């Protein structure tokens, strides 16, 4: 898979976005409680997951972020977010079914290293509202840009996992003035599978499943089976290369939002949404530096899908840094936070020195 230099990214959506009917605007922000513990500075060499990193900035081992979420009114809907630390802004974008809590092992470390860390529960996920809307990548990228205009207001690093990484790429391509760099962790190739990319039998199966999920009769039944803690734990065992990271806390982070009103309709909307742009169409239009991290044991976005980034990293003319992480699956930031935190901080330090 190679970058097509003549490809153009999908332009920012100009579709009128829905607003919450007759909703009173909620408070724009509530006081934030600070995390109870801050990482301490130290210097050491660590070897984890086959990667040796030198820690000369800060302790990169995670201490769970416990800060209170703030509320932002976006078009009449409540969107939850956090803002922690001071310095260059970093905006964290979670993947499908996740939320701010998926970054709990990264937020304190990045903030303690001198960065202003923002993370969102995208509309439809986490503790944000879950209205019955058509959810697409363009829809969320517009939300992200509006958030940047209101809260960040200066070029930021956009970091994401899975579809969050694809949204970060779209933000860099569609709104270049908002970004000074991107961090991609196991970047998805689309929001959903493209029918043309599937073999015929699987294409039929996925088409049938999409119809069942969107049905008012079978949809809730299927969702109730998918959202159980047992099913969530089983799914994590499939995609996490480091099973020690699969904790009751993680299962709760993914399970609780799925029990909130509206979650089933959000699930159905996403699974039947258009796939969105391919990374290969976005990359030729991105001039900001990229750090691409990839868990080698990811069955959802396998390392073979990273070849386009590896080729760019091998080209001195490209500002792309690539690092594969052994024994790690789809969510490196949660599976190997001490490694990912240090790789991010090292890259940021080098980037800012240039």
Q: Are 134 and 269 in contact (CB under 8 A)?
A: yes
To which H or E segment does residue 51 belong?
strand 51-55
Residue 230, Ramachandran bin (φ over 0: left; ψ between -120 and 50: alpha; else beta): alpha
Among 16-20, 26-30, 88-92, 285-289, whose mean pLDDT is lowest? 26-30
- Strand, helix or coil for residue 62: coil
Domain 44-192+277-353 fold is: Rossmann fold (3.40.50)
As a whole number, the mean pLDDT across the chain is 85
Q: Look at the block and give the residue holding tokens 């190997």.
A: 336
* Size of the chain, expressed as the number of residues it contains: 354
Report the distance separating Cα 191 and Cα 167, nearest Å: 10
Non-local (6+) Cβ contacts of 90 within 8 A are: 110, 115, 116, 117, 118, 156, 157, 158, 159
**pLDDT at 34 exceeding the cut of 50:** no
Band of pLDDT at residue 133, cut at 50, 70 and 90: very high
Domain boundaries defined on the chain? 44-192+277-353
The rounded distance, in Å, linking the Cα atoms of 76 and 44 is: 48
Whether pLDDT at 207 is above 90: no
Distance between CA atoms of 156 and 176, rounded to whole angstroms? Answer: 10
Mean local confidence (pLDDT), 165-188 = 99
The three-class DSSP label of residue 183 is: strand
Which one has a higher pLDDT value, 73 or 68? 73
Distance of alpha carbon 55 from alpha carbon 63, whole angstroms: 16
Q: Which of 289, 283, 298 lies closest to 333, judged by CA?
A: 298
**What confidence tens digit (pLDDT) does each residue in 72-101 have?**
999 999 999 999 999 999 999 999 999 999
Show Cβ contacts of residue 166 under 8 Å, excluding neighbours closer than 6 positions.
137, 160, 187, 188, 189, 190, 191, 276, 279
Residue pLDDT, tens place only, 246-257: 999 999 999 999
CA distance linking residue 155 with residue 326, whole number of Å: 32
Which of 197-211, 224-238, 247-261 comes out lowest in average pLDDT?
Answer: 197-211
Residue with token string 């044991």: 297
Res. 316: pLDDT tops 50: yes
- For residue 308, is pLDDT > 70? yes
Alpha helices in 120-262 (DSSP H): 137-147, 163-174, 200-214, 218-226, 229-239, 248-258
Residue 108 has pLDDT above 90, yes or no: yes
With contact defined as beta carbons under 8 Å apart, do 329 and 162 qualify? no
Residue 6 has pLDDT above 70, yes or no: no
pLDDT band per the 50, 70, 90 thresholds, residue 65: confident
């Amino acid at each position: 898979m190679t970058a097509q230099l003549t490809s153009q990214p999908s332009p920012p959506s100009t579709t009128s976005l829905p607003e919450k009917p007759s909703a009173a605007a909620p408070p724009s922000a509530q006081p934030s409680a600070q995390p109870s513990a801050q990482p301490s500075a130290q210097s050491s060499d660590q070897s984890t997951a086959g990667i040796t990193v030198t820690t000369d900035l800060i302790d990169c081992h995670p201490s769970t972020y416990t800060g209170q979420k703030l509320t932002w009114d976006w078009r009449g809907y409540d969107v939850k977010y956090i803002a922690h630390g001071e310095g260059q802004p970093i905006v964290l974008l979670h993947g499908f079914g996740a939320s701010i809590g998926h970054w709990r092992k990264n937020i304190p470390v990045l903030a303690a290293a001198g960065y202003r860390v923002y993370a969102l529960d995208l509309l439809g996920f986490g503790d944000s509202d879950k209205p019955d809307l058509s959810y697409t990548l363009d829809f969320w990228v517009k939300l992200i840009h509006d958030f940047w205009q209101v809260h960040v207001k200066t070029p930021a690093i956009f970091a994401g996992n899975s579809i969050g990484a694809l949204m970060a790429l779209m933000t860099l391509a569609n709104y270049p003035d908002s970004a000074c760099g991107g961090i991609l962790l196991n970047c998805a190739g689309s929001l959903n599978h493209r029918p043309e990319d599937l073999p015929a039998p699987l294409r039929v199966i996925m088409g049938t499943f999409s119809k069942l999920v969107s049905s008012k009769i079978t949809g809730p039944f299927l969702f109730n089976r998918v959202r159980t803690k047992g099913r969530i734990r089983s799914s994590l065992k499939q995609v996490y290369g480091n099973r020690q990271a699969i904790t009751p806390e993680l299962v709760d982070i993914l399970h609780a939002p799925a029990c909130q009103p509206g979650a089933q309709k959000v699930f159905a909307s996403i699974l039947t949404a258009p796939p969105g742009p391919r990374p290969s169409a976005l990359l030729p239009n991105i001039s900001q530096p990229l750090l691409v991290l990839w868990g080698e044991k990811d069955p959802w976005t396998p390392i073979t899908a990273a070849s386009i980034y590896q080729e760019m990293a091998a080209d001195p003319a490209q500002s792309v840094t690539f690092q594969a992480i052994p024994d790690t699956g789809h969510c490196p930031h949660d599976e190997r936070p001490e490694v990912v935190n240090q790789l991010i901080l090292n890259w940021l330090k080098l980037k800012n020195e240039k």
